[in-house]
Structure 1
Amino acid sequence: MLTRIEHRGPDDTGEIRRGNVWLGHQRLSIMDVEGGHQPLTDAGATTYLVANGEIYNHRHIREDLGHALFETGSDSEAALHALIVDGPAGLARLRGMFALAFTTQDGDFLAARDPLGVKPLYWVRRDDVTLFASELRAFDVEDRPLVETFPPGHCWSPAGGLVRFADTVPAHVRPARRAEEPGVWERSLVKSVREAIVTAVENRMMSDVGVGVFLSGGLDSAIVAAVAAEYAAEHRQPLPTFAVGSPGSADLAAARRVAEYLDAKHHNIEHHEVVMSRQDAVDALPRAVRAIEHYDPSLVRSAVPNLLLAEYAVRHVHAVLTGEGADELFAGYAYYHREPFTDPDALQAELVRTVGELHHLNLQRCDRASMAFGLEAREPFLDRDVIELALSIPPEHKMIGPGIEEKKLLREAFEGWLPDEILHRGKEQFGDGSGAKEVLEEAVRSSPDVAAAEGVELRNREEAGFYAIWRQELDGIRPDRTLGLFATT
């Protein structure tokens, strides 16, 4: 199982067996490259932990628990000691993206996944054994019909079973009040949005091996790049940015404009472009479907350029920031502004729903396409504080109208940070702006018709083609148990 996900952590391999518990880990070395080998253990070698992801508040946890407990600079060690000190309640201390497994010398065991499901986790429950892994491909063929998605915000132990420790969207988060006039808000709200996003980006800049930005040229990734560039300049660091698109594509041109603007301002941008030919996209298609372990057309279209970008970017950095999540929080997609979501309550409910489904969709694509090459993607807009603030904003403030463009509040929060033509650039899907959509639709027109295969409902010929590739790679997997089909609108 560990060998099948070696690509997720090509830097190191570690494993231990204690009693009837076995832990294995493929490491991508980002924090404490020399000392962060996993499984991590305490000074007495009585507890062990493997973790995938990042604990962004690990320094605060060190302060709270006492630096004397810690033996490495690894952020994952904060999770180890939080669980030692507080047991499962220690999960509430963790701010970040993670899937982890923890065991003691006596055979106690706990597995857990972050509240949003940014980091993947799957499991198989048999009478004689319970298995966990970060990707579907890790499981043996005979176990694949039993594979399920491990739910975000939950932990599991043999003694306590499956327990929710955090909601994806906390129950207390509700819009503060009805907006009296759409598109008009207090300056304090603009300031709060900007400060929350700036803090989230800065927290995700932690690394001992450098961080870059995936820069699509759209508003969301441009905001992330602008904040990251300022942080990097303050710390006298370069900021690599990476863009992908077909020759002459809108995304490449817009990303180049952002990079030039930020470099003129901070003198620290190292911009890279991956020019994707039609043949590049066609050749990458089966690799992309296999990598993301999904066949949804919108995900596959964006996964192809994403995969090519990750393959290039990993030569320069081990981690990148992305703009994922902003559209779900600030109503960036066109369908949010059509019936029935022109009603504020319906819009709010749909935003909450789509944030909760991200782990099945864009987050799965984002994680797999990058980790296929041992590159970690980080999503500042999906910071817990940003989510809570964004979903507490009256939904009327996210609705469009005469003179009110989508995500107006977000655009206003970052006036002066970006060129005006980028700040007010309209929404374009990544797979469309990069030039991949038409190429990939054409590439699968001659695929075998498997629309009735195994009773799986497929929506069009394009999806049938992607499904044929997916099924060839992941024979035995039940998509209804692992993909949350179908959550897109």
Structure 2
Amino acid sequence: MLMGSPTVVLVFHRLAMLTIYMVMQPIRGEEVSVSWLCYKGEIYNYKQLQKHFGFEYQTLVDGEVILHLYNKGEIEQTASMLDGVFAFILLDTLNRKVLLARDMYGVRPMFKVLTDDGFLAVCSEAKGLVNLKHSTSLSPKVEPFPPGHYELFDLKPNGKVASMELVKYHSFKDEPMHASYDSLEILPSGFDLETVKSNIRLLFENAVRKRLMAHRRIGCLLSGGLDSSLVAAVLLKLIKENSILYPLQTFAIGMEDSPDLKAARKVASHIGSEHHEVIFNSEEGIQAVDEVIFSLETYDITTVRASVGMYLVSKYIRKKTDSVVIFSGEGSDELTQGYIYFHKAPSPAEAAEDSERLLKELYMFDVLRADRTTAAHGLEMRVPFLDHRFTAYYLSLPAELRVPKNGIEKHLLRESFQDTDLLPKDILWRPKEAFSDGLTSIKKSWFTILQEHIENQVDDIMLEKAAEKFPFNPPKTKEGYFYRQIFEKYYPGHATWLTHYWMPRWIKATDPSARTLKHYKSDNKE
């Protein structure tokens, strides 16, 4: 849908999740001033805000609450009051203001172009802006809008803008403002272990519950690892409690004999989901890499490598099923120190510091992967581990409680669900695996398949001259060089979208694979 003037145009393509009724964007608000909203996301507390402030909604769209909060005069607090994931642009035609905002973890993407003469363009994907032509620049600089920020602009009579301020509206370590409108009661723990574990269970279940908000069928990715298995188990429990009539569909992907398929099958049988297995071969995986990089808009090694399976399973879900809202376990590794390299942390304090760093950078890595691989096929990802209240509580716990224990990462999270029957015990305590090992056959990993293919695509001389050809973030491996070439084919000159490669800390590494870590013990190794 398009709303425009000689100087302002808003265009939106809608994938309806909350309501199937035809409520198109931009949404118009007229309480105080005439304002228009385009947004992508879900606002889970829109009904609580309506009740608290007495808003009268004109539509059934959850995002309408953004207009009401803005028109109430809460510019500074509009974004921080929202419990959800979002990226939006709000145009206030009466006061000649433009407001941009993005959710705390950047679960929903947003990019912008702002030229020196005040031309502003915003899009949910960079590919919508890279070929933009402007009178002062044939190729304006495209930048990701920072998560957890809002930016306010003055709109001049000629349609140009002047930025007034870019503001970080909330820290994810703080108790979110919207928690005051939530009836959930958290027991004061004083960090008593049993109370902490009870609070973790309560908050996580509530994180899943609020994300049931949808009028489209809900499904769940299921790798058989701890994170996706917990999400699937709690999700199915709540679906039964809410008397939702359709069975939960779970989806696993892998090559023949992959450990993930076996583990996911066991979880699905335990919880009673309608389970789907997607089998792919090495040729299909290699062929998908080009499409994956185009969809991701990145050349990060581990992100591309891990996205192929998610891209292919999303393609299957869209073509073969009617599930559209897809739950997944992204965010847990960053929050609960699940990466194997955390065993190398010099101290609990440094481990906690790195956990927060990973959360701040999620929008460039795992969250980007989750959103783009699903959205490429018209699906919507929901990530309960990144619930604001859950993450704020978990990060408030003493650093000593959150580190790996007895050689097992995510020990506190596992221990919190130890006395429940949500999952089989061997799944609850299943060791962390390198993604490429869990996904592929015990005979040959995805990591090995990629290296063998790329060896024929990138020679030693090309790699030696990589820094000359790619002075920013020069690739240090043939795999990195291969991905960078594909990225530059689609997005030349935009390498700065990725500030750095994802790499494990506290070791000298040129490859992000867990296989490079001495602590790593794969189920696939003899």
Same fold per TM (> 0.5)? yes
Q: 2:503 corresponds to which residue?
A: 488
- CA separation of 1:19 and 1:488: change in aligned 2, threshold 3 A: farther
SS in 2 for 1:337: helix
Aligned 1:338-417 pairs, distance under 5 A = 338=344, 341-402=345-406, 405-415=408-418, 416-417=421-422
1:118 to 107, 116, 120: 107
Q: Aligned with 1:158: secondary structure?
A: strand
Do structure 1's residue 59 and structure 2's residue 63 form an aligned pair? Answer: no
Q: Do residues 215 (structure 1) and 202 (structure 2) align?
A: no
Supply the distance in 2 between the matched residues of 1:307 and 1:313 (Cα, whole angstroms).
Answer: 10
Q: Which amino acid aligns with 1:422?
A: I
Aligned alpha-carbon RMSD (Å): 2.2
Alpha-carbon deviations, 1:201-231, whole Å to 9, x = none? 1111110012111111100000000110001
String of CA shifts for 1:187-213, please: whole Å, max 9, x gaps.
000001111110001111110012111
Unaligned 5+ runs, structure 2: 155-162, 177-189, 441-445, 505-526
Give the distance between the partners of 2:451 and 2:388, measured in 1 at CA.
Answer: 36
Matches within 5 A, 1:9-408: 14-18=1-5, 20-42=7-29, 46-67=34-55, 69-88=56-75, 89-106=77-94, 107-126=96-115, 127-141=117-131, 144=139, 146-159=141-154, 161-170=164-173, 186-237=193-244, 238-263=247-272, 269-314=273-318, 315-338=321-344, 341-402=345-406, 405-408=408-411
**CA positional deviation for 1:325:** 0.9
> Residue 142 of structure 2 aligns to which amino acid in structure 1?
V
> Match of 2:346, SS?
coil
**Higher RCO structure, 1 or 2 (CA under 8 Å, sep 6+):** 1
1:10 matched residue in structure 2? none
Deviant stretches of 4+, over 6 Å? none
On the 8 A contact 2:3/2:26 being kept in 1, the answer is: yes
Q: CA deviation at 1:342?
A: 3.0
Counterparts of 1:162 and 1:215 in 2: how far apart (Å)? 42
Deviation at 1:171, TM superposition (A): 5.8
Aligned AA for 2:167?
R
Deviation at residue 172 of structure 1 after TM alignment? 7.7
User: Residue 173 of structure 2 contacts residue 395 of structure 2 at CA under 8 Å; is this kept in 1?
Assistant: no
Any unmatched runs of 5+ in structure 1?
Answer: 1-13, 174-179, 264-268
| Structure 1 residues 112 and 207: alpha-carbon distance in aligned structure 2, compared to 1, 3 A threshold | same
CA distance, structure 1, for counterparts of residue 426 and residue 42 of structure 2: 34
Which position in structure 2 is the counterpart of 1:266?
none
Q: 1:352 Cα shift?
A: 0.8
Contact preservation (8 Å) 1:53, 1:97: yes
- Larger of the two Rg values belongs to structure: 2
The aligned amino acid for 1:476 is G
The one-letter code of the counterpart of 2:21 is E
Tell me the distance in 1 between the aligned counterparts of 2:369 and 2:202.
28
CA distance in structure 2 between the aligned counterparts of 1:375 and 1:483, rounded to whole angstroms = 24
Tell me, yes or no, if the aligned pair for 2:342 and 2:404 is still in contact at 8 Å.
no
What's the CA shift string for 1:327-359, capped at 9, x where partnerless?
111111111110xx2311111111111111111
Task: Give me the whole-angstrom Cα distance separating, in 2, the residues matched to 1:485 and 1:293.
Answer: 14
Change (3 A) 1:133 1:144: farther
- Answer yes or no: is the 8 Å Cα contact 1:35–1:74 preserved in 2: no
Which residue in 1 is equivalent to 2:489? Answer: 472
Q: Structure 1 residues 144, 246: closer, same or farther in 2, change over 3 A?
A: farther
Alignment of 1:461 with 2:465, yes or no, is no
Q: TM-score, normalised by structure 1?
A: 0.89
TM, length-normalised to structure 2: 0.83
CA distance in structure 2 between the aligned counterparts of 1:350 and 1:61, rounded to whole angstroms = 34
Shift of the 76–197 alpha-carbon distance from structure 1 to 2, 3 Å rule, reads: same
Letter matched to residue 208 of structure 1: H
CA distance in 1, matches of 2:452, 2:471: 25
Is the Cα–Cα contact under 8 Å of residues 219 and 326 in structure 2 kept in the other structure?
Answer: yes
Deviates more, 1:160-169 or 1:117-126: 160-169
- Check 1:52–1:172 CA distance in 2 against 1; reply closer, same or farther (3 A cut): closer
Distance 2:151 2:437 in 1: 40
